[in-house]
């Protein structure tokens, strides 16, 4: 694969989401006839970089050269016109439309605005036929809603193929596929490579990368740190490139909490969870690691009674009914959810009400609130957590991400919880607020609470956790304790678990 003139060249790509710099001068070069891997730990910006090329993320700055010409890609439609197609793990199919209608969606054949089903059927026939070995008996007229997740993913891939792309981006597009389905996709990718297309392959699975990719670009914290020839690099070297020189992360070395078990979980299953066991002591901070989307958020939501799950959960020896967040909260469980805007805060309501809402009934007398007690309770949290606000009467939507998140913490601290569940608590908050949130988390543990924390950043787990459970496909597959918790070990554990077990728990029967 000699790189003469690259088909795709991205350089100087910057993208900031609120307080978070997702991409910082990232770059990528891929030739025609090449499968190019895009690698990096959670949150390194690899998906964002792919989306810049696919036109679905507008960068703050970027230079994009396609086949020698400088181009601007302002929308997915513009990308399609330039021959760039993308497939993501999140599907873009319309469940109520048929397979055929989905395949031609956005480029429906017809005349004078009237659709022609016959022309559409003719157009999609070759693609459907190509996918048949893995797709099974799926017809043009079948509703997408009735297909298994793996089959839907294949239709999504077919939709991209129909556009005969010069550049195809596959972003975790094989995650929900069976082994034989993956094999077919790999065959198709290799055919496209022979045809001179460039394929950008984003995956968490090291074995897929080494099997398929010619070259790879490695990202870390939004920066391109290496470009490497995959056949000439060992998996260990790839992991080292992803993690970087191990910087000493400041870890709070504490004596292992020796108290009794506060939170006991046995066989928690349902949805994305496949039997989770967990024991955590008072004062202990337990992290949930692994690739993103392996059931970490679902585990926290299930423990809080917010999604349906079955299993035995005890707090301080007392069984907890997993019926509703309300019954969980009564047992002293608190959840700082993953989406602050829609799950954590009441955006239009005043800061005081946002702080009060979870503990309000305890301060009321026969349902009536005392203005003074309400104000004092809210003010006590503003002071204790150093929340920067104008007035308690201002809507919470006027606060920065970090301060809004502190309000969500304060809301639960007022309930004096014994188990605190944190779902990616520092997402979208700046560095300063992050450090303060870590301090709050440690304070909770010192007061005897059990903390369970999921994070999209491995570094965060290294910083705050006494123990990390590495999840894969809804179950705990590895545990790191104390000094074992390093970024390198976390990445290794997350990537290695996936090898050889691909498709084990997903596929047709999951529909």
Binding site for another protein (CB under 8 A): 304, 306, 324-326, 328-330, 335, 337, 342-350, 353, 356-358, 360-361, 364, 367-369, 371, 393, 395, 411, 415
Residue 112 or 348 with smaller CB distance to another protein: 348
Report the C-alpha dihedral over residues 29, 35, 41, 44, rounded to 10 degrees: 30
Residue 81 or 373 with smaller CB distance to another protein: 373
Residue 61 or 393 with smaller CB distance to another protein: 393
Report the C-alpha dihedral over residues 404, 407, 409, 414, rounded to 10 degrees: -170
- What's the min distance (Å) between Cβ of 210 and another protein? 41
- What's the min distance (Å) between Cβ of 168 and another protein? 36
Closest to 328 measured CA to CA, from 362, 303, 298, 365: 303
Q: For residue 326, give Cα distances in angstroms to 25, 293, 361, 362.
A: 46, 25, 12, 13
Between helices 401-413 and 431-446, what is the axis angle to 10°? 10
Sign of the CA dihedral running 38, 43, 45, 47: positive
Residue 19 or 347 with smaller CB distance to another protein: 347
Closest to 66 measured CA to CA, from 146, 7, 150, 20: 7
What is the Cα–Cα distance from 37 to 216, expressed in whole angstroms?
4
- What's the min distance (Å) between Cβ of 414 and another protein? 11
Residue 120 or 300 with smaller CB distance to another protein: 300
468: tokens are: 């990390």
- What's the min distance (Å) between Cβ of 281 and another protein? 25
- What's the min distance (Å) between Cβ of 12 and another protein? 38
- What's the min distance (Å) between Cβ of 213 and another protein? 40
What is the Cα–Cα distance from 244 to 313, expressed in whole angstroms?
39
Is 114 buried (19+), middle (13-18) or exposed (0-12) by CB count in 10 A? exposed
23 within 8 A of 48, measured Cβ to Cβ: yes
Residue 171 or 353 with smaller CB distance to another protein: 353
- What's the min distance (Å) between Cβ of 296 and another protein? 17
Residue 112 or 368 with smaller CB distance to another protein: 368
């Amino acid at each position: 694969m000699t790189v003469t003139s690259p088909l795709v060249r991205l350089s100087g790509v910057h993208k900031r989401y609120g307080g978070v710099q997702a991409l910082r001068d990232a770059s990528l070069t891929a030739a025609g006839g090449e499968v190019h891997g895009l690698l990096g730990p959670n949150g390194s910006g690899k998906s964002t970089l792919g989306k810049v090329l696919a036109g679905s993320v507008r960068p703050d700055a970027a230079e994009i050269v396609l086949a020698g010409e400088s181009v601007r890609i302002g929308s997915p439609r513009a990308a399609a016109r330039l021959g760039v197609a993308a497939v993501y793990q999140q599907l873009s199919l319309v469940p109520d439309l048929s397979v055929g209608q989905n395949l031609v969606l956005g480029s429906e054949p017809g005349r004078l605005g009237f659709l022609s089903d016959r022309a559409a059927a003719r157009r999609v026939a070759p693609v459907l036929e190509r996918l048949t070995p893995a797709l099974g008996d799926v017809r043009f007229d079948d509703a997408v809603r009735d297909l298994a997740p793996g089959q839907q993913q294949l239709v999504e891939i077919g939709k991209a193929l129909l556009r005969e792309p010069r550049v195809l981006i596959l972003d975790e597009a094989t995650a929900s596929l069976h082994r034989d389905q993956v094999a077919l996709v790999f065959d198709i990718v290799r055919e496209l490579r022979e045809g001179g297309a460039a394929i950008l392959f984003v995956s968490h699975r090291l074995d897929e990368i080494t099997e398929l990719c010619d070259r790879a670009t490695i990202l870390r914290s939004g920066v391109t740190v290496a470009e490497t020839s995959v056949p000439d690099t060992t998996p260990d070297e790839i992991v080292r490139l992803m993690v970087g020189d191990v910087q000493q992360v400041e870890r709070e070395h504490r004596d292992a909490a020796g108290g009794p078990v506060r939170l006991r979980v046995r066989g928690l299953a349902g949805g994305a969870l496949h039997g989770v066991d967990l024991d955590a002591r008072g004062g202990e901070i337990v992290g949930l690691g692994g690739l993103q989307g392996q059931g970490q958020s679902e585990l926290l939501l299930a423990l809080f009674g917010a999604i349906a799950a079955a299993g035995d959960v005890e707090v301080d020896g007392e069984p907890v009914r997993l019926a509703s967040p309300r019954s969980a909260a009564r047992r002293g469980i608190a959840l700082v959810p993953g989406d602050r805007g829609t799950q954590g805060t009441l955006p239009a309501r005043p800061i005081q009400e946002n702080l009060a809402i979870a503990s309000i009934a305890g301060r009321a007398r026969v349902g009536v609130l005392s203005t003074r007690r309400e104000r004092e309770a809210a003010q006590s949290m503003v002071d204790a957590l150093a929340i920067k606000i104008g007035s308690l009467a201002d809507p919470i939507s006027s606060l920065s991400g970090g301060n809004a998140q502190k309000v969500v913490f304060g809301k639960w601290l007022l309930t004096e919880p014994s188990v605190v569940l944190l779902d990616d608590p520092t997402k979208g908050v700046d560095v300063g607020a992050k450090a303060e949130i870590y301090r709050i988390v440690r304070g909770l543990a010192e007061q005897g609470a059990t903390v369970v924390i999921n994070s999209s950043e491995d570094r965060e787990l290294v910083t705050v956790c006494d123990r990390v459970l590495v999840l894969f496909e809804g179950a705990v597959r590895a545990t790191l304790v104390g000094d074992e918790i390093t970024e390198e070990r976390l990445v290794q554990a997350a990537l290695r678990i996936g090898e050889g077990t691909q498709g084990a728990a997903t596929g047709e029967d999951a529909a």
